[in-house]
A and B are shown apart, each in its own frame.
Chain A
């Protein structure tokens, strides 16, 4: 599935609910379903620090693609990180960098994008794109 196909699927899953509590329940379930992250990756190096909740994001470069693992100490945040990973893990750096993440707005999570929510989606998305950029430049500099 392409990035946009996954985004459309997520939008459909959320569109069923009008009530915020139902949306949060869905996020909570998604947070609970997120694979457990090996504690060795839950270190300062992988921490996106903020004042609200902690988020750990671990990239792994395999072949041409980047795979992400993530965790948070807050369950709703875990659900949000889980969504991002569903969309952006197992992708090439080019795909990640070109991604237009319209699903965030469509499912009503845009307020989490405000820059003052220092541990909001914005810093997660920025970190994912930074990893993609870093990987892109290292793979380019490798002799083929």
Chain B
């Protein structure tokens, strides 16, 4: 693995300062910064071959289409999907989940059926299912969690029944960092022929992803959380499922033949890509996946676990600091509150010290309700962060305590 100063030099934004202080960016769970190669790749599209994809007969359109399809292949290879037909570009994780919720709901969900999610879900993996359940008169069931933020597998097994039509769970909790036992969840569901969707928004960037080994039916993630551009995401669906699902958006490019009487749809994956897609975003995402592959996903995981362990030691040393989410299976996220200081007060002061963290419910209100708190301060680290930055955070929190306590 490249040394840390070399890695940081790849990300131009990391060297900036805020309020006259060096930036300490610890909000990677919300979005990650972009390496120069991704910025260049997107720039290059607009500078030298911008044209609409899959449509033109001219050279630029050919080049843009080719690069877009290359990006699809990069995604396929990165998550080890079997076929490129199984990779659908979307606007992001939210877009992907909404697509499945709509299409799967239309095709397979009937009155009285049930969909299971966990108590750790981001709102994006709750609300689309609620909307679908309301439309279909179906029911949403929830796997409960324990006091350290782990899902209760026994309770999950009890929820499985002949009414269960789909399981949709997150790979990793965005709010508190817990890594879910997705393998056990998938295996138990498959023993009953129930398909499983994995929300990989917080999982994909932290280690090796192999959808075939995991054996999930759908896997979704966002480009911007894995060092790619915003506004691009992936819906991986096993071909046997995608082939069964009706399209969720109609428009150009997703059709084979259109008359006013009847329209036939294009083949996979284009059937799910209506209208002009965010091709510069897709191309940027492909470059981002190349980049992290060069760094090495295994090395990224090791480095981030080191940072997590260092941060745990540093922050638990602060008297009055409570960490929410204490599973041993965790990604590099620390969600905390200090004494009775409001998360917003903590976040505001840290901000002025140059430290970017997230405050609030993290779009996971049920998790906060489970712990009986209004929200937390969340520091999320990734492989370009340093131990020095964690020390700055620690000192910052001590400063907060001295100001408010």
Which parts of A1-46 form the interface with B (CB within 8 Å)?
A: 20-21, 24-25, 28
Residues 22-73 of A at the B interface (beta carbon under 8 Å) = 24-25, 28, 51-53, 73
Whether a CB of chain B sits under 8 angstroms from the CB of A96 is: no
A77 within 8 A of B: yes
Cβ contact within 8 Å between B352 and A73: no
A82 CB to nearest B CB, Å: 14
Q: Are B344 and A77 in contact (CB-based, < 8 A)?
A: yes
Q: Is B360 an interface residue (CB 8 A)?
A: yes
Contact B344 A21 (CB under 8 A): no
Question: B341, B348, B361 — which one has the most chain A CB atoms within 10 A of its CB?
Answer: B348
A26 to B345, CA, bound (A): 13
Within 8 A of B (CB), among A66-99: 73-77
User: Out of B344, B352, B399, which one reaches A74, CB within 8 Å?
Assistant: B344
Q: Do A76 and B345 have beta carbons less than 8 Å apart?
A: yes
Residues of A within 8 A of B374 (CB): 73
- The winner among B19, B344, B360 for most chain A CB atoms within 10 A is B344
Residues of A within 8 A of B352 (CB): 20-21, 24
**Cα distance A75–B359 in the bound complex, in angstroms:** 15
Rounded to whole angstroms, the CA-CA distance of A74 and B337 in the bound complex is 13
How far is the CB of A99 from the nearest CB of chain B, in Å? 25
Contact residues in B for A51 (Cβ distance below 8 Å): 360-361, 375
Which residues of B (340-391) have their CB < 8 Å from a CB of A? 341-342, 344-345, 348-349, 352, 359-361, 374-375
B108 at the interface (CB under 8 A from A): no
User: Size range of the interface on B?
Assistant: 10 to 19
- Provide the residues of chain A in CB contact with B19, threshold 8 Å: 20
Q: How far is the CB of B167 from chain A (nearest CB, A)?
A: 29
List residues of chain A with CB within 8 A of the CB of B348.
24, 76
Chain A contacts of B349 at CB under 8 A? 21, 24, 76
Contact call A74/B345, Cβ cutoff below 8 A: yes
In the bound complex, what is the Cα–Cα distance between A77 and B359 (angstroms)?
14
Residue of chain A at shortest CB distance from B362: A51
Q: With an 8 A cutoff between CB atoms, is B318 at the interface?
A: no
Q: CB-CB < 8 A to B403: which residues of A?
A: 21, 24-25, 28
- CB pair A53 B344 closer than 8 Å: yes
B361 touching A53, Cβ below 8 Å = no
Select B359's contact among A20, A24, A52, beta carbons within 8 Å: A52
Q: If the complex has contacts A20-B19, A21-B349, A21-B352, are A52 and B404 also in contact, measured as CB distance less than 8 A?
A: no
Interface centre among A24, A25, A53, A77 (most CB of B within 10 A): A53
Write the nearest CB–CB distance from B362 to chain A, whole angstroms.
Answer: 10
Question: Across the interface, which residues of A come within 8 angstroms of B399, CB to CB?
Answer: 21
Q: How far is the CA of A75 from the CA of B399 in the complex (A)?
A: 15
Assess the A75–B404 pair: CB atoms within 8 A: yes
- Asked whether B360 lies within 8 Å of A74 as measured between CB atoms, the reply is no
What's the Cα separation between A103 and B281 when bound, in Å?
41
Q: How far is the CA of A114 from the CA of B289 in the complex (A)?
A: 34
Name the residue in B341, B345, B360, B399 with the highest tally of chain A Cβ atoms < 10 Å from its Cβ: B345
Chain B residues with Cβ below 8 Å from A73 are 342, 374
A52 to B376, CA, bound (A): 10
Q: How far, in whole Å, are A73 and B360 apart by their CA atoms in the complex?
A: 13
Shortest beta-carbon distance from A58 to chain B in Å: 20
CB distance from A84 to the nearest CB of B (A): 17
Give the Cβ gap from A48 to chain B, nearest Cβ, in Å. Answer: 14
**12 extra interface residue pairs, beta carbon distance < 8 Å, beyond A20-B19, A73-B342, A75-B345:** A21-B352, A24-B352, A24-B403, A28-B403, A28-B404, A52-B344, A52-B360, A53-B342, A73-B374, A75-B341, A76-B344, A76-B349
> Contact residues of A with B, CB < 8 Å?
20-21, 24-25, 28, 51-53, 73-77
24 contacts between A and B (CB under 8 A): A20-B352, A21-B349, A21-B399, A24-B348, A24-B349, A24-B403, A25-B403, A28-B403, A51-B360, A51-B361, A52-B344, A52-B360, A53-B342, A53-B344, A73-B342, A74-B344, A75-B341, A75-B342, A75-B404, A76-B344, A76-B345, A76-B348, A77-B342, A77-B345
Which 10 interchain pairs have the tightest Cβ spacing?
A74-B342, A20-B352, A74-B344, A53-B344, A52-B344, A51-B360, A74-B345, A76-B345, A76-B348, A75-B345
Q: Footprint of A on B, CB under 8 Å?
A: 19, 341-342, 344-345, 348-349, 352, 359-361, 374-375, 399, 403-404
